[in-house]
Amino acid sequence: MHLQLTHTCFYVLDQDSALDFYVNKLGFKKHTDVRKGEFRWLTVTPPDQPGLEISLLAAKESHAMDKESADALAMLIRKGVFGFGSFQSPDVFAAYEEMHAKGVEFKAPPKKEFYGVSCNFKDDSGNWFSLSEKQPGK
Amino acid sequence: MNTLSDPYPKAYLYRRIVQAKLFIDAHFAEAIDVGIISGEAHYSKFHFIREFQAIYGRTPREHLTHCRMERAKELMAQGVDALEACVAVGYQSLSSFSRAFKKATGSTPRVFREAELRREADTRARPLNFIPDCFSGAHGLSEE
């Protein structure tokens, strides 16, 4: 069986602000930006994974989500409840310095642990991500 | 040198290289070279190139070309023609630009621009072709 993840989504509070964050602070590329009525399908791809489209979905009332759910989701994002994933970089210290210089918020600077070097940052909406270094042999 | 306020070993070295990388990112369209860039990092040219390559996997010169090509791709995807893009990213010769572009992307500027403009027109004419069914279905989107 062959399976490949081609699309996933991050719920964000403001799509324009999220686009600016992922493109200008993390170096993602804008892939697709189309509108169908009120719905905006906005995707970006990580610099080293052009085949993985991440949809920056607005956490707001829509056909797929009633107002109560959308408000609850937005509140949880704002509170920083969600950890959406883990990024890997060949050099976490360099990635940290660059992102930090661009104003990305980190919980703490990267630290060398027994499992490798890592740190955590959040996007402009409040979603948390870890940033770790690829370990030799893994 | 390390200071007590440094959050991790050799943070000051990282900062200097990263600042130089950010300098390239911000000034790639200007007439900058490795001498100017290494000066920004307060390094000798040779040492700077070695440290930069160790961190980013490409030399400062390669990174400069990368920045120029990425911006040229963005501009041409918006409809800017090759000559205008060439000048906008800091090249003085269209033939040098076209050669570098072909090397970076595998396409000539003209072929790349036409393909991007076709794709852009397609996204406007048939947006649902670009949205996976599970998402368009969940959001009640249809062709009408």
Residue B39: pLDDT band by 50, 70, 90 thresholds? confident
Between CA B136 and CA A45 the distance in angstroms is: 19
B63-67 average pLDDT score: 96
Q: Is the pLDDT at B144 greater than 70, yes or no?
A: no
**Is B19 an 8 Å CB contact of chain A?**
yes
A5-16 average pLDDT score: 95
Between CA A44 and CA B144 the distance in angstroms is: 27
Between CA A10 and CA A127 the distance in angstroms is: 8
Q: Is the pLDDT at B2 greater than 80, yes or no?
A: no
Q: Is the pLDDT at A112 greater than 90, yes or no?
A: no
* Candidates A63, A108, A109; nearest CB to B140: A63
Q: Do the Cβ atoms of B118 and B93 come closer than 8 Å?
A: no
Between CA B63 and CA B67 the distance in angstroms is: 6
Domain that holds residue A43: 7-133
The pLDDT of residue B45 is 86
The pLDDT of residue A83 is 83
Residue B34: pLDDT band by 50, 70, 90 thresholds? confident
A27-43 average pLDDT score: 92
Q: Is the pLDDT at B132 greater than 90, yes or no?
A: no
The pLDDT of residue B5 is 62
The residue with tokens 């000034």 is B27
A19-29 average pLDDT score: 97
The pLDDT of residue B103 is 96
Which residues 50-89 of B are in CB contact (within 8 Å) with A? 55-57
Q: Is the pLDDT at A134 greater than 60, yes or no?
A: yes
Full set of structural domains in chain B with CATH: 1-57 (no CATH), 66-144 (1.10.10.60)
The pLDDT of residue A122 is 96
The pLDDT of residue A138 is 56
Rounded to a whole number of angstroms, the CA Rg of chain A reads 16
B37-56 average pLDDT score: 86
CA-nearest of B50, B51, B55, B21 to B37 is B21
Give the number of domains in chain A.
1
Interface test with A, best of B18, B63, B67, B73 (most A CBs within 10 A): B18
Instruction: Answer yes or no: is A1 within a domain.
Output: no
Contact A34 B130 (CB under 8 A): yes
Write out the DSSP string of B3-41. -TT-SSTTHHHHHHHHHHHHHHHHHTTSS--HHHHHHHT
Average pLDDT, chain A: 92
Amino acid at B85: A
Write out the DSSP string of B41-99. TT--HHHHHHHHHHHHSS-HHHHHHHHHHHHHHHHHHTT--HHHHHHHTT-S-HHHHHH
Question: For the segment A48-90, what is each residue's pLDDT rounded down to a tens digit?
Answer: 899 999 999 999 998 889 999 999 999 999 999 988 789 999 9
Q: Give the pTM.
A: 0.89
A36 CB neighbours in chain B (<8 A) are 127-128, 131, 136, 139, 141
Minimal-distance CA residue of chain A relative to B14: A94
- The pLDDT > 90 percentage for chain B reads 61
Amino acid at A99: M
Between CA B51 and CA B55 the distance in angstroms is: 6
Instruction: Answer yes or no: is A138 within a domain.
Output: no
B43-56 average pLDDT score: 90
Q: Is the pLDDT at B3 greater than 60, yes or no?
A: no
**Is B121 an 8 Å CB contact of chain A?**
no
CA-nearest of A45, A7, A33 to B124 is A33
CATH number reported for the structural domain that contains residue A68 in this entry: 3.10.180.10
Q: How far is A93 from chain B (nearest CA, A)?
A: 7
Question: For the segment B89-113, what is each residue's pLDDT rounded down to a tens digit?
Answer: 999 999 999 999 999 999 999 999 9
Residue B4: pLDDT band by 50, 70, 90 thresholds? low
Q: Is the pLDDT at A135 greater than 80, yes or no?
A: no
Instruction: Answer yes or no: is A2 within a domain.
Output: no
Contact A34 B131 (CB under 8 A): yes
- ipTM surpassing 0.90, yes or no? no
Contact A93 B130 (CB under 8 A): no
Instruction: Answer yes or no: is A15 within a domain.
Output: yes
